[in-house]
Amino acid sequence: MDAKIIIFDEPYANLDYPGVMQVNSLFKKLIVDGKTVLILTHELEKCLALASRFIVLCKGKIVFDGLPKDALELDLGLWGIHHPLKNEAHNLRDLLW
Tens-digit pLDDT profile for residues 43-69: 888 998 999 999 999 999 999 999 999
pTM exceeding 0.85: no
**pLDDT class for 85, splitting at 50, 70, 90?**
confident
d(CA 34, CA 53): 15
Q: How many CA atoms does the CB half-sphere of 57 hold within 13 Å?
A: 7
